């Protein structure tokens, strides 16, 4: 098996080629990456959420939103509607997506029929699709998923 030196500064440990770092430095690397992620998230929160999108930040922490979110969790049993209807999988909903974004339809921010629970993975895909392809088509597809859920669940 081919081997190489751990690339960590001043480390002379010989490791297999399929490893990035030796065990000692792999832990340090993972800790550093986790810390960087936290720093990035904190910077994003400060620069975007709390400053540029302050109105949205206030909304998502409001008692009205938190109450609506809890009712949606109860209504959809905490499940990702897309995963349940399309993929026939039971996946927990991590995010609650406004079909018509609240930046564009502020008056629909508390409309339960404008919100679909999705897993984080599905949510990222839906948002990407909405901005890459036909937004209206994607919105009507999400509404159709909600109709299918209501039909299936009564």
Q: Which residue has the tokens 């209501």?
A: 150
Token pair recorded at residue 43: 């910077």
Percent helix / strand / coil, the chain, rounded to 5: 60, 10, 30
pTM for this prediction: 0.67
First-residue to last-residue Cα distance in the chain: 60
Q: Which residue has the tokens 């564009």?
A: 104
DSSP secondary structure code for residue 112 in this structure? G
How far apart are the C-alpha atoms of 96 and 66, rounded to whole Å? 11
Phi and psi at 32, nearest 5°, equal: -65, -45
pLDDT tens string, the chain, 154 residues long: the values are 799 999 999 999 999 999 999 999 999 998 888 888 788 877 776 666 666 678 888 898 899 999 999 999 999 999 999 999 999 999 999 999 999 999 899 999 999 999 999 999 999 888 888 778 788 888 999 999 999 999 998 7
């Amino acid at each position: 098996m081919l081997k190489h030196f751990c690339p960590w500064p001043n480390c002379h440990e010989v490791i297999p080629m399929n490893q990035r770092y030796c065990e000692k430095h792999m832990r340090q690397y993972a800790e550093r990456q986790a810390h960087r992620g936290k720093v990035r998230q904190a910077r994003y929160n400060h620069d975007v959420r709390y400053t540029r999108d302050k109105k949205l930040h206030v909304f998502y922490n409001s008692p009205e939103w938190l109450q609506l979110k809890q009712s949606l969790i109860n209504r959809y049993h905490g499940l990702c509607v897309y995963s349940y209807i399309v993929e026939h999988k039971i996946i927990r909903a991590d995010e609650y997506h406004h079909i018509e974004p609240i930046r564009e339809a502020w008056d629909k921010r508390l409309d339960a029929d404008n919100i679909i629970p999705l897993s984080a993975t599905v949510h990222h895909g839906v948002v990407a699709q909405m901005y890459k392809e036909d937004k209206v088509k994607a919105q009507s597809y999400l509404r159709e998923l909600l109709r299918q859920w209501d039909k299936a669940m009564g």
